[in-house]
Structure 1
Amino acid sequence: MNNQQPEKRVGRRSLLSGAAAVAGGAALSTAVPAGAAQAATKPLAKVANVAATPAIIDIAPADSRFPDLVRGTNQRWVATPEKVRLVTTPTQAESAVREAVTAGKRLTVRSGGHCYEDFVFNSQVQVVVDLSAMNQVYYDPAMNAFAIEAGASNLQVYETLYKLYGVTIPAGSCASVGAGGHISGGGYGLLSRQLGLTVDYLHAVEVVVVRSNGTVETVKASRDDTGALKDLWWAHTGGGGGNFGLITRYWMRTPGATGNDPTTLLPKPPSEVFVNAISFPWPQMDQQDFQNLVKNFGRWHEQNSAPSSPYAGLFGLLKLNANSGPNSAIGLLTQMDASTHANARTLLNDYLTAVTAGVNITPQPMSVAMGEHAALPGFDKTRKLPWYIATDYLSGGNPTLYGKYKSAYAKKAMSSFQVSALWNHLSAPAPDGLEALVQIDSYGCKVNTVASDATAVPQRDSILKLQYQAYWTDPAKETDSLAWIRNLYKAVYAETGNVPVPGFINDGCYINYPDKDLSDPAFNTNPNPQDHALQLYYKGNYARLKSTKLAWDPTNFFRHAQSIPVT
């Protein structure tokens, strides 16, 4: 259940004056040891000395490491468990769950620490199982697929898959997000229009489950299974972490891939990409400019999100930063496959022209870090970079912030009503101490070639994905910050009960951006908001997820504030 950067990283929130998060949410990449691909067919850390695997490491409150292990990247959530248990193998993970079941202890699981709500770190938890040291990525010949342990970060996954095999998966671009929650919630990123969702490549999953009689066991469920095992696999293609069991590892392979050459079992990323990053200063922005920019972005995606579009290799992020002062700006970050189409540069230029039409502001280079407002040299003129360098560069994060997040999918460009609501809230001076934005991400193309019930992710006809983000560093600013983002979200979706009810434009919410407000009648005026919130995440797949929950976690041992119920 999941989910200090170098100064020139542009990450989930590292640039709110002209850019913030790249699509998605510890340590960055671990260097890949030198050696042949053969050595990487086993977990890299275990090749050198199999006998060196330690026992479970228990961290008690008196341990100096404890404060670091009872919180994630959102500093709002800090737990006081009896202990944190660091595991490094599936057997240890199973033992940790069994001991908690036997002792009647409330257990939660951390992989990357990027959960936006208190699902992992809360006042009820007594034992936290930390998977961050269980982070190997390797080709598994027995499964003829790539194994990714739940604690591996996005950047670790990218580095190992690409440097050793020349392949990748279309996952998020926030470097330190852990695989455990990211994959189980669906997963998407800068390559998704070209390659689809992360879960579209899920071949199998290994899960520690608790049976009705309290028996704890580790099971493996794959795409090729039938019956209850197939349901368990399917539930991990977008059902979200913390619902069915403790995930130890995944196996990834392109559906229908044949042969046993690992370099052909997952897609290859573009060899090079164009990156363009521009911003529009708030002091020069008026309402017409703002409306033109937002509507242009939406209309362009309406016209260019078919699976066969030459723009499948383009992913844009429109960063509608709140007006926080004279140095604040709205950002537009774009990555375009530079290797597939001979006229890729022309396509990118045409896109930029279309999106900025009628915006009477000369674009500026996007800033690098909040508070410094330094230029990002050359990116306003479009730079060509090797794919992995660009992926590394555009990743990042900040583990010292307090935050609140909301989400929405859109099947069409936002309505005039919604755009006006955005303008009214974002253009007004932001509360003191608040840094916030609404980021609108590209979606569609390859994502929408999969049936809505083929995976647990039902939103397979959307063209945009929206991230509502608010950040502050002073805990005393929480009340005002929460009120600000709640009022903004309420205003944008006022026509549908204050939440993005699926319809002509809206298409629900993303489980990897959990938002407990959706379950609260104070913020969701639709009937039975507790149940309605889960329908916003899962739509027509909710019933099958509930039956899978009952079959595989009948005692509701794995649960959180928005977990799938057993009744």
Structure 2
Amino acid sequence: MRRRASQPPGPACAFPGPVRVTQQDVRYPSLVGRGLRRFRGSPDEVWVAGATEHVVQAVQHAVRHDMRVAVRSGGHCYEGFVDDPAVRVVIDLSGMRKVSFDPLLNAFAVEAGATLGEMYRDLFLGWGVTVPAGWCPDVGVGGHILGGAYGPLCRSAGLSTDHLYAVEAVVVDRHGTARSVVATREPSDPYRDLWWAHTGGGGGNFGTVTRYWFRSPDADGDDPAGLLPAPPASVLSFHAEWDWQGMDETAFGRLVGNHGQWSEQHSSPDSPFTSLYSELHLLRLPAGRHVMDGQVADTGPAAERLLDAYITALNQGIGTPFTLQKQQLPWLTSALRGPGVDASPYRVKLKAGYLRRRLTDQQIAAAYHQLTRTDYPNPGGALGLYTYGGKVNTVAPEATATAQRDSVLKAVYVAAWEDPAEDDTHLAWIRSFYRDVYADTGGVPVPGTGNSDGSFVNYPDTDLADPRWNTSATPWSTLYYKDNYARLQTVKARWDPRNVFTHALAVEPPPT
């Protein structure tokens, strides 16, 4: 086994040393304002790291002074884990953005401060390969990978964590000493449990990841071009819209039902439709439409045939105005122009659920009611239904920390608004929406019941730990991790025995 990682080529880091920014520093507002708009923290210090040793110094400083520490990569956490008032030290990884090939580990190294767009560009232009991950190019690699990231290529290539070979993490031992370790997926690696925990165990639980290495599990040889999936030369990108006007409850039910039926029928690993990915957003009535964006990772007539068959299946029996725009794009162009979130003016609350089968008639009726309620005028609410499955479902639930391995759709519930004074109104709406859809299972998607298989940890939702909104008697940890939670707790006890890395939905130490 190649045991020691090499340093990537080029300068050692972007900074001569860790940049320690206090509240009086002119740089402070920019650094604490990097998160989503609904949360703003006020830490005493922000340490900008350019290298792993900087992170070790920052973590050691926080431990020595008994200061709660959190880490920020891209700043897209949907709960206030980093911006918690209890957090006094934030480690900002935006200075760690290098992407390189590491010949010692025979894998591609990506520092945790890089964005997905930077990773896609550098891997593709340098070696003609990619990691299947998310659609938003400005999202940071750091927290994204840890939750079992998915995106347009996941149905044909699996999750990003399915290609994760190793992680470098800064951890703290029981004596309070911070150090960095490299953990690989090699069966002989004594640190392998730490690698496993980062294949879907979520961020802020075991340590601070500073670098990832990627190599596909079936890759062979030393040629870098053969160690990760090669993306298609081009993709057929498409955007569809259905008018709300004239769409009654029956037509709405047909659209949602058709989409769910297609997903059930075409999400097996050997389906030719695994190259097709879409996100159907069922918007609130005031928005005037429903929208769908997607791509077919193929070229020419083959891509056109797959898309035509898909659209025909979705439109069966609907009879409302519909438009479709499509464009063949080079793959990298498509990857770098995906939906962005950094410039969004909105405050956002997300909830999620894995679907092993289509929504039931009762669930569709609940969605129709919530999207057409006249006592809630906000147009910024939606139910997203994202195609899933395919290659994702060829991995055993215990092989990685991502336990959900037989779903065909991801459901994403969204509320977006601008005025902070309206927070309670919009939170009440999305909570009632989620509760109504999962009314038969205590207001949450309990794994193994009906069509549900829990929730997605990268869309964290603290309501799942609140008995007012989760009346199922199923703990939040089971909703996210299913049977893998006990193993994650064991990893927590070994690698973070002082519980230095914690937040509102953190993996808890095992009971003593």
* Deviation for aligned residue 1:538: 0.3
- Structure 2: how far apart are the matches of 1:410 and 1:551? 33
1:352 to 2:311 alignment: yes
Report what 1:223 is aligned to. Answer: 185
Change in Cα spacing, 1:97 to 1:560, as seen in structure 2 (3 Å) is same
Report what 2:488 is aligned to. Answer: 545
1:443 to 2:443 alignment: no
Alignment-mate amino acid for residue 74 of structure 2: G
Change in Cα spacing, 1:234 to 1:51, as seen in structure 2 (3 Å) is closer
CA contact (8 A) 1:80 1:123 kept: yes
- Structure 2: how far apart are the matches of 1:348 and 1:445? 17
CA contact (8 A) 1:228 1:548 kept: no
- Structure 1: how far apart are the matches of 2:192 and 2:272? 35
Residue number among 415, 422, 428 corresponding to 1:477 in the alignment: 422
* Deviation for aligned residue 1:71: 3.6
- Structure 2: how far apart are the matches of 1:183 and 1:487? 30
* Deviation for aligned residue 1:467: 1.0
* Deviation for aligned residue 1:491: 0.4
* Deviation for aligned residue 1:432: 4.5
Q: Per the alignment, in what secondary structure is the counterpart of residue 339 of structure 2?
A: coil
Residue number among 279, 287, 292 corresponding to 2:241 in the alignment: 279
CA contact (8 A) 1:298 1:414 kept: yes
* Deviation for aligned residue 1:65: 2.1
Report what 1:557 is aligned to. Answer: 500
1:533 to 2:476 alignment: yes
1:494 to 2:453 alignment: no
Aligned-residue identity in percent: 43
Report what 1:16 is aligned to. Answer: none
Task: Give TM-score, length-normalised by structure 2.
Answer: 0.95
- Structure 1: how far apart are the matches of 2:509 and 2:188? 22
CA contact (8 A) 2:283 2:379 kept: no
**Superposition pairs for residues 279-358 of structure 1, below 5 Å?**
279-325=241-287, 328-339=288-299, 343-358=302-317
* Deviation for aligned residue 1:296: 0.4
Q: Deviations over 1:474-522 (max 9, x none)?
A: 1011111101100100000000000001123001000000000000000
Q: Deviations over 1:142-181 (max 9, x none)?
A: 1111001111101011010111111001100111111111
CA contact (8 A) 1:323 1:430 kept: no
CA contact (8 A) 1:221 1:229 kept: yes
1:383 to 2:327 alignment: yes
* Deviation for aligned residue 1:425: 0.6
- Structure 2: how far apart are the matches of 1:160 and 1:544? 35
- Structure 2: how far apart are the matches of 1:268 and 1:115? 29
* Deviation for aligned residue 1:313: 0.2
Q: Which has the higher contact order (CA 8 A, sep 6+)?
A: 1
**Superposition pairs for residues 108-123 of structure 1, below 5 Å?**
108-123=70-85
Report what 1:413 is aligned to. Answer: 358
Alignment-mate amino acid for residue 244 of structure 1: F
Q: Per the alignment, in what secondary structure is the counterpart of residue 71 of structure 2?
A: strand
1:392 to 2:336 alignment: yes
Alignment-mate amino acid for residue 28 of structure 2: F
- Structure 1: how far apart are the matches of 2:246 and 2:507? 47
- Structure 1: how far apart are the matches of 2:14 and 2:252? 58
CA contact (8 A) 1:273 1:387 kept: yes
Which range moved further: 230-239 or 397-406? 397-406
**Superposition pairs for residues 55-454 of structure 1, below 5 Å?**
55-226=17-188, 229-325=191-287, 328-339=288-299, 343-364=302-323, 380-397=324-341, 398-429=343-374, 431-433=376-378, 435-454=380-399
Q: Which runs of 5+ in 1 are unaligned?
A: 1-40, 365-379
Alignment-mate amino acid for residue 295 of structure 2: Q
* Deviation for aligned residue 1:381: 4.0
Task: Give TM-score, length-normalised by structure 1.
Answer: 0.86
Alignment-mate amino acid for residue 516 of structure 1: T
Alignment-mate amino acid for residue 312 of structure 2: T
- Structure 2: how far apart are the matches of 1:129 and 1:106? 11
